[in-house]
Structure 1
Amino acid sequence: MLTTPISARELSRGMLDVLIRAGLIAILAVVCFRIFYPFGSLLVWSLILAITLYPLHLRLRKRLGNKDGLTATLIVLVTLIILTIPMYLLGIALVDSIGNAMEMAKSGSIRIPPPAESVAGWPLVGGRVYAFWLQASTDLTGLIQRITPQLKGVGAALLEGATSVGAGLLIFIFALILSGIFMAYGEEARHSAVRITSRLFGPEAGPHVAELCAATIRAVAQGVVGIAFIQMLLIGVAFVVKGIPGAGLLALAVLLLGIMQLPATLITIPVIIWVFASEGFTVAAIVFAIYTFIAGLADNVLKPLLLGRGVDVPMPVVLIGALGGMVTGGVIGLFIGPVVLAVGYQLFWRWIDEQPQAEAPVAAPVDEPVEPKQP
């Protein structure tokens, strides 16, 4: 059968059509990305919350007559109430504390006790801390005037941090509402995820990759939040028993630091120093310091136990992904990093296992010796 040769003109026209189509697709992708980008963080958080809460949705749905919409609405409302009450109480406590501090500053009734002589003997920082503390106890007004330029920078940083925290809280609330919509259509969303991963990684690996992504997100969410909550309880109980001022706020700060993957020692060490400065090296203070310091390091023991549970990937891979994602992408990277690293780990070993086996060499036939004929 003879084929008609393609002319140079037809070939150039075909290449031009391919280039035009590729350009239009690239323009469409860029426009879609720019439209999607302002809502990217919101949608990613919605997916993370929906995947994390979906097992609870499945358990409650059986008790509510298999009504997906009612179950998702109930979960969202209860979660909003659980989040709103502590935030409201925290806001009232902060406003009261700021108001009381301003009234004490205006009335001049702030009295700071002089430091003990033992403070000057602290290694490295004892002399500076003693001088600063002594001036604060004798000439607080002069000290405030001296450090006013530094206080302005600190105040601006605190205001910026409060603004970002407020914006993040609003994004989280809207993401929680959207996650309820995703949970209401959970089965359809699951089938869509399997179709997408099957198209990207093949029909055999696609379902496994989808389940791996969901399990990794749940493991990180439960591990990170669970570890932070346990650490908050361990440290908060010690603060309350010891009678530390603002024990509840400090415990909440420990919870937030744990979620952000920051060490709780940022809270515990200053509290330990304050206890030693106010009480001295008594037996109770030493026991409190040892317990609080160990509780502040408890996450180093709990992470290997809880972070990788239920994931078909070694725990170090999940832990490295969480820490690396947190450094590169913030709190969202805390969830995206382990997912990307876990999928890459699985695909790498699948590629290793599917390499073609070398065929065994075929032995050459050995010629049998010819027996001489008998006469």
Structure 2
Amino acid sequence: MRESLERRSFLLTLVLVSIAFAWVLIPFWGAIFWACVVAVIFYPLQQKLKNKFGDKPNRAALVTLLIALVIVVIPALGISYSFVQEGVSFYQRLDEGKINPGKRFDDIQNAFPVINDLLAQFDIKASDVREKISSGAATASKFLAEEALAFGQNTFSFLLSLGLMIYLTFFLLRDGQYLIDLMVRALPLGDDRERKLFSKFAGVTRATVKGNIVVAIVQGALGGIILALLGIPGALLWGVVMAFLSLIPAVGAAFVWAPVAIYLYATGSWIQATILVAYGTIVIGLADNVLRPVLVGRDTKLPDYLVLFSTIGGMSLFGITGFVLGPLIAALFLVFWNIFMTEF
């Protein structure tokens, strides 16, 4: 009786201490999560370097970390900074009246009279649409400006999180296998199940990040290049927006370049518009169809509808981190239920 009471008391205390420890780490969960993501992605490279360097795990982990910084972290910081700067510039031009979204809508409306008939069928006033477009553009640009200001004010917090992420990534790369074996021993889910779950976590994380981020970067870069060549203002801003929208299934970069092409047709720039439509359909569109199957393995690919809902839901709950965390939770959900149906 006493031994049973002691066991239950210890387990209760263990749960409480674990919850308290997790609560302490809440301010840094973003840094911890992205450290795990980077470590998972570059772990195969670290293993190859470890075999090359022999009995020098610190050197292998350090070289892998430096490669990750050059390939992922530094470019992401540069793109983010440029995006914020472009967003602030766009807000200033909009505030000064140099950009008038309402007038752009009027130009499209005049060039395509069928729009008036279409709006009339749904009992929608063109003036209301014009006002919504103007207010939406103002709200979006103001949001970018406020985020830029907040970023400047929270620079120390951001640098601290970045430093912690880099610091933790090194140890996850160096001691990753040991930590996995330790968790397999500690967790009471069954060793085979736990290894299956960890394998699924690694596979989905690599597939999601490589598939989504690489495709998004390629599509955003291709879109930004063609917009710049065609002389569209804010090409860098719209390129990053296209990259961001490419992370969301069923949306994609066409959400940006298609309206731009329509406006070019409306203003009489037929050659530019045709080039943009052909380029967007063939080059930008095929980038997803060609790269994603190569980067995302079949074993880790989720149904498209599940990816859509989990990505949007994850981003609404966790912000930009949700585009990885949402599909990851969905994949683990499927794995748990698969294990349940198979074994129970």
Q: Same fold (TM over 0.5)?
A: yes
Q: Aligned match of 2:241 in 243, 246, 253? A: 253
Q: Which residue of 2 aligns with 1:287?
A: 275
1:215 maps to which residue?
203
Q: Name 1:238's counterpart in structure 2.
A: 226
Alignment pair present for 1:175 and 2:165: yes
Match of 1:186 among 169, 176, 183: 176
1:135 equivalent in structure 2:
none
* 8 A contact 1:42–1:175 mirrored in 2: yes
Q: Could you say what secondary structure the match of 1:201 adopts?
A: coil
CA contact (8 A) 2:208 2:324 kept: yes
Pair 1:200 & 2:188 matched: yes
CA drift of 1:233 comes to 3.8
Letter in 1 for 2:33: V
2-structure distance, mates of 1:317, 1:232: 23
How far off its partner does 1:33 sit? 3.1
The structure where helix makes up a greater share of residues is 2
Match for residue 319 of structure 1?
307
1:53 has 2:39 as partner: no
Shift of 1:333: 3.1
8 Å CA contact 1:227–1:302 kept in 2: the answer is no
Contact 1:232 1:252 in 2 (8 A): yes
CA distance in structure 2 between the aligned counterparts of 1:269 and 1:89, rounded to whole angstroms? 23
Is the CA contact 2:42–2:68 (under 8 Å) kept in the aligned structure 1? no
Greater displacement, 159-168 / 53-62: 159-168
Equivalence map 1:66-145=2 (5 Å): 67-82=56-71, 83-84=73-74, 87-88=77-78, 91=81, 119-122=109-112, 123-124=115-116, 128=127
Indicate how the Cα distance of structure 1 residues 296 and 188 shifts in structure 2: closer, same or farther if over 3 A, else same: same
Separation in 2, partners of 1:99, 1:334: 27
Whether 1:161 aligns to 2:147 is yes
- For residues 173 and 323 of structure 1, do their structure 2 counterparts lie closer, same or farther at Cα, with a shift above 3 Å needed? farther
CA deviation digits over 1:81-115, x for unaligned, max 9?
A: 45436745875797699689979x99x9x699x98
Unaligned runs of 5+ in 2: 120-124
Give distance in 2, aligned partners of 1:94 and 1:331. 15
Cα deviation for residue 60 of structure 1 reads 3.1
1:222 CA drift (Å)? 0.9
* Structure 2 residue 17 is the aligned partner of structure 1 residue 38: no
Partner amino acid, structure 2, of 1:184: R
Normalising by structure 2, we get a TM-score of 0.70
CA distance 1:339–1:195, shift in 2 (3 Å): farther
Aligned length: 322
**More displaced, 206-215 or 344-353?**
344-353
Q: Which moved more, 1:45-54 or 1:178-187?
A: 178-187
**1:310–1:191: structure 2 CA closer, same or farther, 3 Å change rule?**
farther
Residue 337 of structure 1 corresponds to: 326
Q: What code does the residue aligned with 2:145 have? A: L
Residue 270 of structure 1 and its aligned partner are, at CA, apart by 4.0
% identical equivalent positions: 19
1:309 positional shift: 0.6
Distance 1:43 1:78, change over 3 A: same
Aligned partner of 1:361 in structure 2 is none
Q: Corresponding residue for 2:17? A: 28
3-state DSSP of counterpart to 1:185:
helix
Structure 1: runs of 5+ lacking an equivalent: 1-10, 133-146, 356-375
Q: Please, what is the CA RMSD of the aligned residues?
A: 4.6
C-alpha distance after superposition, 1:27-75 (max 9, x if no partner): 4344323212222222122111111111122233344445332233233
Residues 219 and 242 of structure 2 are in contact (CA less than 8 Å); yes or no, is this contact kept in structure 1? yes
Return the TM-score normalized by structure 1.
0.65
